[in-house]
Amino acid sequence: MQTGPRLGGPLSSRPLSSTTPLYAVALLIAALFIAPALRAQDWFHLETSTGAGKLRLAVASFKSSSADPATLPAKAAFDETLYNDLSNAGLFDLVSKDMTPQSAPGGQSEIQLSQWSAAPANAAMVAFGNLAVNGGRITVNGFLDDAKNPQYPQIFARQYADTASENNARQIAHKFADEIIARLGGGITGIAETKIYFVKQTGSSKEIWGMDYDGANQHQITHTGYAISPRISPDNSRIAFSTLGKNSGFQIGMYSLLLNRTVNFANTGSTNVSPAWAPNGQQLAFSSSRTGDPEIWIADPQGTSAHRVTDFKGPDVSPTWNPKTGAQIAWISGRTGLPQLYIMEADGSGVQRLTDGGYATSPSWSPNGQFLAFAWDRKYGPGAPGGQDIYVMEIATKKWIQLTHDGGRCDFPAWSPDGRHLVYANSSDGRADHTRIMTMLADGTQKRALTGPGSDMPNWSWR
Amino acid sequence: MSVFATLDEQSPDRFGSGFVRAIALHILVAAFLAALAIYVPGHVEHWGESASTVGAIQASMVSAIPLPSKVEPVEKSVLASENVTPAPKPPPKEATQTPPKPTDILIKEKTAPKTPPKVAPVEQPTPPKHPQPTPPTTKAASGDAATQLPQAINQVKNGTAMATVQDRTFGNRYAYYLKIVSNTVAQNWYTNEADPSASQGKRVTILFDINRDGDPENIRIETKSGSPSLDASALHALQRVEGFGPLPAGDHITVEYTFDYKQP
C-alpha cells in the first residue's frame, strides 16, 4: 500500500491555518512520525528493461518406489506425459533431458538443489517426486522446488492416487502439470486435462471421437453412421453435432456424455447443421433452412423455442459465439457471393463484415473475446495463388495474421480454453482422407500432429 | 558624534521590549527549523524507496549488476561512519577440538575414524505453511543483505529486472512469485509503443497492488519518465496483464515496477 507518501504528502502540503498554528504544527510533526508506521509491509520493487525470458524448468525422472511390475510402464507413461505437457504449454524454457542430472530424487529430503541449479541444467525450478504401484493402486507424490532458493525451496507438494493403469498415470501427469502451470504460469490455467473431440472417418462412415488434448486415449463416442462438426457443451456434459439421417437430410444430433447415448433434439424437416453452444450452455445457435434459405437460428439445447436471427438472401452458416460475453455471434454469410466472415449481436443487430474478399470458412472465437480464428483462401478461384490457411483476426482492428503457410489445405481451427493454442485439420496433399488433426501455439509455432490421417473437424473442450 | 549618541540613546526607547520578543521569536523559529532538519531528511528520504535502513533488499534478478548499496560509502572505517551499526556480538565459540599437542598426535591417529561432518544431505526443514517472522540475524540491516539473495538470480534478455522487498518473509519464502510477476509484466510490455527518440534512457515507475486472486489493482504512475509514450506503454503493459496467479500467501502485496527503456 502506498499509505506512507500518500498520507504524508497531502497533510504536509495543506496550508497551515493561521488561527491555530500550534495545532497545525503539531499535526505536521505527528504526520512525520506516523507516516513510516503506516507504511504497509508488502512492498516490492521490480524493474525491467526490454523483454523477458522464460522460466527455466527442469523435470526429474520420477523415482519408482515399488517393485510391482506395473510400476515401470506407468512411470514411463507418467514421465513422458509430464515432460510433454510442460513443453506443450509454451510457457517454460524446459531443460533438455540430456542436461538434467541423472539422479531421481523421490522426495524433499533426497534432492540436492545445487545439482539442478548449476550448469548444465541451470534450472530455476525443479519438478520431481516418486511413483508407486501397490495392490492395483497408483500413488504419485509430486514436488515443485525453487532451485535457487535453498532456504525455502518448496513451492508445493501434491499427492495423487488412482487405480493403476497407464492411462491413469497419464491423467495424473496432466493434473500435476496443470498444477505447476497454475503456480508458475502467471495467471494462465493449464490445458493438460482438456479434451478434443473430432470426426473420424472409417470407410464411408464418420463418427465423433474424443481424445486427450495431446492425442492420447482416442476413443469412439457416437454410433450414428454419419456425424460431423462436434461441439462440446461448456460443462462437458453433451456434444452437439450434425448427423445425416437416412431420409431426413442433415439434422442436429445431441449426445450425452453422462448417459452415454444420444438424447432428443427437436429438429424440423429441413436441413439443420453446424451447431454452436452459447457460453452459458443454455442456448444453441445453428444454421437451419426451415424458411427456405439457410439462416442462423437460436434454440435451447433441446431444440425448442427456436427463433431466427438472420434474414439475408444467400446462405448463413457456421455460427460461433463470443465465449467471453455470450452476446455476439460470428458466422459465415454468402450474401455477396463467396462466403465471408461477419459478426453481429446475438439478437441479429449490428452486422459487420470482417473479411474483404476470398473464401472464408469455419470461424472460432477466442476465449478472451479478442480474436477470431478462421480458415481463409484469400485468392479464391482457378489458378489463383495460395491456398486455404488458418488466419487469426483481431476483431477491434480487423488486422489479421496468417498462421499456416504452404502446409497444404487447412480448415476448422478451434481455440484451446486458455486461448494460447489452436487445433485444426490439415491435409498436406489436399485429399480429404489424408486429413489429420494438428495443434499449434496461437502464434503459429510448435505445430505438431495429434492424430493420423482420417480425422477432421476438431473441437476443443471449454475446460 | 553627538548625533550618534542621541540615536543610541533613543533606540532602547523606540524598540524596547518588542526587540527582545523578536529575538526570542527568531530563536524559536531557528530551534523549530533545526528540529525539522533533524527529523525530516531521515524520513522523507526513504519513502517508497527500498532504502537500506527501512527494509532489507531480499530479491534480485540481476547477476551482472549488483544492487547499489543505498548506504553512503563510508565503509572500510567503521569508526568513521556516522551511523555506526552496533558491532555484531562475537559469534559464540564453537565447541572446537582443542588443537592437539604434539604429544597427542599418536593418540589422535588411533582414534582417527572420526568422519568429517557430512555436508551434502542437509535436511531442509519443511517450510511452514504461513509466513513466519524472520529469525533475527546478527547482520546489520544495511545493503549488505543484497549479497545473500535467495531468489533465482537471473538476467532477463537484454535488460535487467530486480525485486526489492520490505517484507522479508514474503520475499524470502515466495521469491519465485515475484519473478513470475516480473516476467509477466515484462512480457506484456511492448517497447515499440514508446517513442524511441524521446524515451531513450528514461525510466518510469509504476505502482500497483496484487490482490489475493493475483489480479493487478490500483495501477498508477509513481514517477513519470518525461516521455508520455513511455509512460503509456508501461501502463498498457500492466493493463494487459489479466492476472499473475493467486498470491501464495497474504491478502495483497504492493509492487513498484520500473521500466527502463534502453534500446541498443
Write the pLDDT tens digit of every residue in A147-176: 988 888 999 999 999 999 999 999 999 999
Q: Give the H/E segment covering residue A332.
A: strand A328-333
pLDDT tens profile B200-211: 888 899 999 999
Q: Which residues contact A448 (CB under 8 A, 6 or more apart)?
A: A438, A439, A440
Can you give the pLDDT at residue B17? 84
Can you give the pLDDT at residue B140? 40
Residue B104 has pLDDT above 80, yes or no: no
A152 & A255 share domain? no
Can you give the pLDDT at residue A384? 86
Interface contact B25, partner A, CB < 8 A: no
- Which of A319, A329, A386 lies closest to A357 in space, CA to CA? A386
Residue B138 has pLDDT above 50, yes or no: no
Interface contact A324, partner B, CB < 8 A: no
**Mean pLDDT over the full length of chain B:** 68
Q: Where are the alpha helices (DSSP H) in chain B?
A: 2-44, 105-110, 168-173, 175-187, 196-199, 228-240
What is the value of pTM for the model shown? 0.70
Q: Which amino acid is residue B71, in one-letter code?
A: V
A163 & A245 share domain? no
Q: What is the CATH number of the domain that holds A446?
A: 2.120.10.30
Residue B57 pLDDT grade (very low, low, confident, very high; cuts 50, 70, 90) = very low
Q: Among A163, A184, A205, where does a domain finish?
A: A184
pLDDT tens profile A20-62: 455 555 555 544 444 444 444 466 766 665 556 788 999 999 9
A128 & A237 share domain? no
Q: Which of A8, A40, A51 sits opposite B186 (nearest CB)?
A: A51
Please report, for residues A114, B116, B121, the alpha-carbon distance to residue B124 in angstroms, rounded to integers and kept in the order given: 13, 20, 9
Residue B99 pLDDT grade (very low, low, confident, very high; cuts 50, 70, 90) = low
Can you give the pLDDT at residue A277? 97
Q: How far is B82 from chain A (nearest CA, A)?
A: 22
d(CA A439, CA A403): 11
Q: What is the DSSP letter of B109?
A: H
A279 & A411 share domain? yes
Can you give the pLDDT at residue A169? 95
> Is residue A50 situated within a structural domain?
no
User: Cβ(B58)–Cβ(B172) under 8 Å?
Assistant: yes
d(CA B177, CA B247): 8
A263 & A303 share domain? yes
Q: Among A184, A205, A239, where does a domain finish?
A: A184
A67 & A173 share domain? yes
Q: Which residues contact A217 (CB under 8 A, 6 or more apart)?
A: A167, A170, A211
Please report, for residues A227, A295, A424, the alpha-carbon distance to residue A242 in angstroms, rounded to integers and kept in the order given: 6, 16, 18
> Is residue A44 situated within a structural domain?
no
The mean pLDDT value for B31-50 works out to 67
Can you give the pLDDT at residue B198? 87
A 154-193 residues with CB < 8 A to B:
154-155, 182-188
A213 & A168 share domain? no
Residue B175 has pLDDT above 60, yes or no: yes
Residue B231 has pLDDT above 70, yes or no: yes
A176 & A201 share domain? no
All residue ranges of chain A with pLDDT < 70 are 1-43, 45-52
Can you give the pLDDT at residue A11? 34
Can you give the pLDDT at residue B167? 58
Can you give the pLDDT at residue B102? 67
> Is residue A328 situated within a structural domain?
yes
In chain B, % of residues over pLDDT 70: 47
Of B48 and B246, the one with more pLDDT: B246
d(CA B141, CA B137): 9
Q: How many CB atoms within 10 Å of residue B256?
A: 21
Chain A to chain B Cβ contacts (< 8 Å): 202
A107 & A246 share domain? no
Contact state of B160 with A48 under an 8 Å Cβ cutoff: yes
> Is residue A190 situated within a structural domain?
no
> Is residue A47 situated within a structural domain?
no
B 210-229 residues with CB < 8 A to A:
214, 218
User: Cβ(A332)–Cβ(A363) under 8 Å?
Assistant: yes
The mean pLDDT value for B232-257 works out to 88
Contact state of A45 with B258 under an 8 Å Cβ cutoff: yes
Residues of B in contact with A190 (CB under 8 A): none
Q: Among A122, A152, A184, where does a domain finish?
A: A184
A93 & A19 share domain? no
d(CA A372, CA A399): 11
Residues of B in contact with A188 (CB under 8 A): 245
d(CA A239, CA A229): 10
Q: What is the CATH number of the domain that holds A138?
A: 3.40.50.10070
A221 & A322 share domain? yes
- Which of B33, B48, B46, B47 lies closest to B83 in space, CA to CA? B46
> Is residue A319 situated within a structural domain?
yes
Of B243 and A141, the one with more pLDDT: A141
Please report, for residues A60, A62, A159, A336, B139, the alpha-carbon distance to residue A73 in angstroms, rounded to integers and kept in the order given: 17, 12, 19, 58, 52
> Is residue A48 situated within a structural domain?
no
A85 & A119 share domain? yes
Q: Which of B124, B179, B218 sits opposite A153 (nearest CB)?
A: B124
Residue B243 pLDDT grade (very low, low, confident, very high; cuts 50, 70, 90) = confident
Q: Name the residue range of residue A19's domain.
A: 3-38
Is B248 in a helix, a strand, or coil? Answer: coil
How many domains does the structure of chain A reveal? 3
Contact state of A43 with B184 under an 8 Å Cβ cutoff: no
Of B264 and A459, the one with more pLDDT: A459
- Which of A415, A425, A305 lies closest to A366 in space, CA to CA? A415
> Is residue A335 situated within a structural domain?
yes
The mean pLDDT value for B70-74 works out to 50
Phi, psi of B172 (to 5 degrees): -70, -50
